[in-house]
């Protein structure tokens, strides 16, 4: 049992942190206000290899593991949760589907450019009427010759505004329920695939999150992942992995807010002394750091289990459930510690508080996490 990072992990953490401080932090406020992700920044992150961390060198990835990936998620999310989700959806949801379930040809054609930093991916599962109940998919796929013809619509598709590669889930057999869902790799510029306007949101506003309209979209047969009816299983597996990323994102948001607050309370003087000298401040900070460390250990536990090829869906659910709650509580308390300045847009904590909320919702709500955890406990 050992809670220490290896020297390579420390070096990576340090590198992510420096990159985030220097490249992402200065843009975070502007990107949030303009509700637009900076594509130059995206390219810089791709060049540094942030979009292919846990994928093998053989396919152009960095050859690292899930631990290396969650360290990145935390450091990036410390300064900007939108950057975190942009990496996470690409890595955990899109790439993992192809890496875990794709054929060699599919990997060469689609995974390689995604993980070597030349293309961006997204994951279209949620529909207007199928959220937590992902089995209620209405998008249909009908085989006609060598092509499937897809029709329907998707919502909340992160990265869709600039993605090159989509994983789209559609029903190939209505009668079979979740066993009738299939997964397809779709190129972003395919006719019949229309990405709508960015959805106005409360938080993670810099990330791209659009409605996707699918009208007679022709997808070559060979772009189906595995076989017909295996799509739902693919989606669930991807989401299990994704939740570790969201757990790490939550830890990052919380730690980022706490760091801001700690700096502020040391400098801010009221009643003749730094507010850090008041016991209320000290106790609040001690409680928050303890919770964040707890959440981080849960994230690392899940990541290590995944790297060790052990069962981890319950561990992923726990780290996301707890992490997202901590992120919400901590950011709210940090805004309070900064008082009026915390509420103002001059300081980043209000953005962090808005950003934190989504972690309790996407890639499975907290309620769904509890179902998963309870299920694993067989009660």
Q: Which two tokens stand for residue 280?
A: 């209320």
Return phi, psi of residue 365, to 5°.
-70, 170
Residue placing its CB nearer to other proteins in the complex, 29 or 332: 29
Return the residue of 67, 70, 72, 195 that touches other proteins, per CB under 8 A: 72
Distance CA 135, CA 236 (A): 11
By CB under 8 A, the count of residues binding other proteins is: 32
CA atoms lying within 13 Å on the CB side of residue 173 = 13
When asked if residue 267 is in the footprint of other proteins (CB under 8 A), the reply is yes
Asked if 74 contacts 296 with a C-beta cutoff of 8 angstroms, the reply is yes
Q: Whole-number minimum distance, CB 375 to other proteins, in Å?
A: 35
When asked if residue 321 is in the footprint of other proteins (CB under 8 A), the reply is no
When asked if residue 262 is in the footprint of other proteins (CB under 8 A), the reply is no
When asked if residue 346 is in the footprint of other proteins (CB under 8 A), the reply is yes
When asked if residue 8 is in the footprint of other proteins (CB under 8 A), the reply is yes
CA distances for 98 relative to 12, 239, 253, 305, 375, angstroms: 25, 13, 29, 21, 27
Q: Which residues contact 378 (CB under 8 A, 6 or more apart)?
A: none
When asked if residue 52 is in the footprint of other proteins (CB under 8 A), the reply is yes
Q: Whole-number minimum distance, CB 54 to other proteins, in Å?
A: 10
When asked if residue 59 is in the footprint of other proteins (CB under 8 A), the reply is no
Q: Whole-number minimum distance, CB 62 to other proteins, in Å?
A: 4
Q: Which two tokens stand for residue 176?
A: 């079979």
Q: Which residues contact 299 (CB under 8 A, 6 or more apart)?
A: 70, 74, 244, 247, 248, 251, 319, 323
When asked if residue 29 is in the footprint of other proteins (CB under 8 A), the reply is yes
When asked if residue 274 is in the footprint of other proteins (CB under 8 A), the reply is yes
When asked if residue 47 is in the footprint of other proteins (CB under 8 A), the reply is yes
Residue placing its CB nearer to other proteins in the complex, 62 or 316: 62
When asked if residue 341 is in the footprint of other proteins (CB under 8 A), the reply is yes
311 catalytic residue (yes or no): no
Q: Whole-number minimum distance, CB 15 to other proteins, in Å?
A: 5
Distance CA 327, CA 360 (A): 9
Residue placing its CB nearer to other proteins in the complex, 62 or 195: 62
When asked if residue 111 is in the footprint of other proteins (CB under 8 A), the reply is no
Pairing state of beta strands 224-225 and 209-220? unpaired
Asked if 167 contacts 121 with a C-beta cutoff of 8 angstroms, the reply is yes
When asked if residue 63 is in the footprint of other proteins (CB under 8 A), the reply is yes
Distance CA 152, CA 150 (A): 7
Q: Which two tokens stand for residue 205?
A: 């506003």
Distance CA 251, CA 198 (A): 26
Report 224-253 residues binding other proteins (CB under 8 A): none
CA distances for 81 relative to 198, 272, 323, angstroms: 17, 35, 14
Structure-token match 């937590």, residue found: 132
Q: Whole-number minimum distance, CB 49 to other proteins, in Å?
A: 4
CA-wise closest residue to 243 among 357, 138, 368, 334: 368
Residue placing its CB nearer to other proteins in the complex, 24 or 170: 24
Residue placing its CB nearer to other proteins in the complex, 63 or 294: 63
- Quick one: which segment of 149-157, 183-191, 310-318, 341-349 binds other proteins (CB under 8 A)? 341-349
Question: Which stretches of the chain bind other proteins, using CB under 8 A?
Answer: 7-8, 10-12, 14-15, 18-19, 29, 44, 47-50, 52-53, 57, 61-64, 68, 72, 266-268, 274, 277, 341, 346-347
């Amino acid at each position: 049992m050992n809670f220490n990072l290896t020297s390579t992990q420390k070096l990576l953490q340090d590198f992510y942190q420096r990159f985030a401080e220097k490249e992402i932090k200065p843009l975070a406020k502007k990107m949030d206000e303009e509700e637009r992700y900076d594509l130059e920044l995206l390219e810089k992150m791709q060049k540094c290899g942030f979009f292919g961390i846990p994928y093998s060198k053989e396919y152009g990835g960095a050859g690292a593991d899930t631990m290396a990936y969650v360290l990145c998620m935390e450091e990036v999310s410390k300064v900007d949760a939108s950057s975190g989700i942009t990496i996470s959806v690409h890595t955990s949801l899109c790439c993992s589907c192809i890496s875990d379930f794709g054929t060699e040809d599919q990997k060469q054609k689609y995974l390689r450019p995604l993980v070597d930093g030349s293309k961006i991916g997204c994951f279209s599962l949620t529909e207007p009427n199928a959220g937590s109940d992902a089995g209620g998919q209405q998008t249909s796929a009908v085989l006609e010759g060598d092509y499937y013809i897809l029709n329907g619509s998707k919502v909340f598709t992160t990265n869709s505004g600039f993605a090159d590669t989509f994983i789209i889930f559609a029903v190939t057999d209505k009668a079979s329920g979740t066993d009738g869902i299939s997964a397809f790799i779709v190129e972003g510029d395919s006719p019949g695939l229309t990405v709508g306007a960015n959805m106005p949101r409360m938080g993670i506003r810099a990330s791209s999150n659009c409605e996707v309209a699918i009208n007679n979209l022709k997808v070559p047969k060979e772009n189906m992942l595995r076989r017909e009816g295996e799509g739902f299983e693919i989606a669930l597996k991807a989401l299990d992995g994704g939740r570790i990323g969201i757990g790490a994102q939550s830890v990052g948001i919380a730690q980022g807010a706490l760091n801001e607050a700690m700096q502020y309370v040391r400098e801010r003087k009221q009643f003749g002394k730094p507010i850090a000298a008041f016991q209320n401040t000290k106790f609040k900070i001690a409680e928050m750091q303890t919770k964040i460390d707890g959440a981080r250990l849960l994230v690392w536990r899940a990541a290590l289990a995944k790297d060790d090829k052990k069962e981890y869906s319950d561990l992923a659910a726990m780290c996301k459930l707890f992490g997202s709650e901590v992120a919400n509580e901590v950011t709210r308390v940090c805004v309070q510690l900064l008082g009026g300045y915390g509420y103002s847009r001059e300081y980043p904590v209000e953005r962090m508080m808005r950003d934190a909320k989504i972690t309790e919702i996407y890639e499975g709500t907290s309620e769904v996490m509890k179902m998963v955890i309870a299920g694993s406990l067989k009660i």
